[in-house]
């Protein structure tokens, strides 16, 4: 509770936390939807916002409000899968490469650098085209996770290389501390801010790529996500026809999600960084 109260003093965290709570509640409303998100023609088409349809309806005959609840939920599922799985890979690769060094470092960094130098977006687009028939929320999250760990693993490795040269590492080794215990007790407190920051940033990256792939028509367009909502709005020329309620719904939700994730990442990273906390105390 004290940690949460301290974080709430930062206006960025308070705003981001509030927005994410609203979006989470919004996503949970999808479980109470009176409509099937995969079926079209359930409501009259192209209605303006009203008391019956809060955000209007689209040209597919779907209620935009309830479709948006499914879109936020599905986009968050993709982001969480991509973020968590890629963090697991990045932490393991970065810590093993940084602590073991030598052959382990060369081999693991070879794979990491290979993913960094290739045109990542084009590779992801090509992979999405190849497995489009079986591309669902889980498989898309895993695909993005596979390509989303390399840079962060290098950042974690650089921090471990620095920690390995400090006196407390040598003291722990000479006292017989095992590798796993050394990493968890000594290194994790230093790397946690970086892991949290890269986790949230990777989630935002995954949502951005999901939107891009959907606009290109490479995802299952029958599954509501923020990207597929934008795809259908663009496909039916919602902007030219003046159906602002249709196109602005996914845009507003996406911008709010990106801003919230960014400010959450910055505020948590600064709070967990001991140097920043000391500076704040000194300034106070």
Q: Say if residue 233 is exposed, middle or buried (CB neighbours under 10 Å; 0-12, 13-18, 19+).
A: buried
pLDDT at 279 over 70: no
Helices and strands counted in the chain (H then E): 13, 0
Q: What percentage of the chain has pLDDT greater than the value 70?
A: 94
Residue % of the chain over a pLDDT of 90:
56
Predicted TM-score (pTM) of this structure: 0.89
Side-chain half-sphere exposure of 178, counting CA atoms within 13 A: 3
- pLDDT, tens digit (0-9, with 9 covering 90-100), for 206-215: 999 999 999 9
Residues in the chain: 284
Looking at residue 283, its pLDDT comes to 44
Reply yes or no on domain 2-283 having CATH 1.10.3720.10.
yes
79: Cβ contacts below 8 Å, ≥ 6 apart: 141, 203, 204, 206, 207, 210
Do the Cβ atoms of 95 and 160 come closer than 8 Å?
Answer: yes
What residue spans define the domains of the chain? Answer: 2-283
Rounded mean pLDDT of the chain?
Answer: 88
- What does the alpha-carbon distance between residue 129 and residue 131 come to, in Å, rounded to a whole number? 6
C-alpha gyration radius of the chain: 22
Q: Over 70: is that where the pLDDT of 282 sits?
A: no
Tokens of 6: 């301290």
* Residues 261 and 200 sit within 8 Å (Cβ to Cβ): yes
Say whether pLDDT at 276 is over 70: no
- Report the alpha-carbon distance of residue 43 to residue 55 in Å, rounded: 13
**Per residue in 123-159, is it b (16+ CB within 10 Å) or e — as a string?**
ebbebbeeeeeebebeebbebbbbbbbbebbbbbbeb
């Amino acid at each position: 509770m004290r940690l949460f109260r301290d974080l709430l003093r930062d206006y960025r965290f308070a705003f981001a936390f509030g927005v994410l709570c609203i979006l989470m509640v919004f996503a949970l409303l999808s479980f109470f939807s009176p409509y099937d998100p995969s079926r079209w023609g359930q409501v009259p088409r192209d209605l303006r916002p009203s008391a019956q349809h809060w955000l209007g309806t689209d040209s597919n005959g779907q209620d935009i409000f309830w479709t948006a609840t499914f879109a936020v939920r599905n986009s968050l599922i993709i982001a969480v899968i991509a973020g968590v799985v890629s963090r697991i890979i990045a932490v393991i690769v970065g810590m093993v490469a940084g602590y073991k060094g030598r052959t382990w470092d060369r081999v693991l960094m070879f794979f990491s650098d290979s993913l960094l130098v290739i045109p990542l977006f084009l590779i992801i687009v090509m992979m999405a085209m190849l497995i489009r028939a079986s591309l669902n929320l889980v498989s898309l999250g895993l695909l993005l996770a596979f390509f989303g760990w390399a840079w962060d693993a290098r950042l974690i490795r650089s921090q471990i290389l620095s920690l390995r040269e400090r006196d407390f590492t040598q003291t722990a080794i000479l006292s017989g501390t095992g590798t796993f215990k050394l990493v968890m007790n000594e290194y994790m407190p230093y790397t946690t801010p970086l892991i949290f920051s890269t986790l949230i940033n990777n989630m935002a990256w995954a949502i951005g790529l999901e939107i891009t792939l959907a606009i290109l028509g490479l995802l299952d367009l029958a599954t509501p996500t923020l990207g597929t909502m934008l795809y259908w709005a663009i496909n039916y020329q919602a902007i030219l026809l003046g159906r602002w309620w249709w196109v602005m719904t996914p845009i507003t939700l996406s911008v709010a999600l990106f801003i919230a994730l960014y400010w959450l990442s910055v505020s948590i990273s600064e709070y967990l960084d001991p140097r920043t906390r000391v500076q704040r105390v000194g300034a106070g």
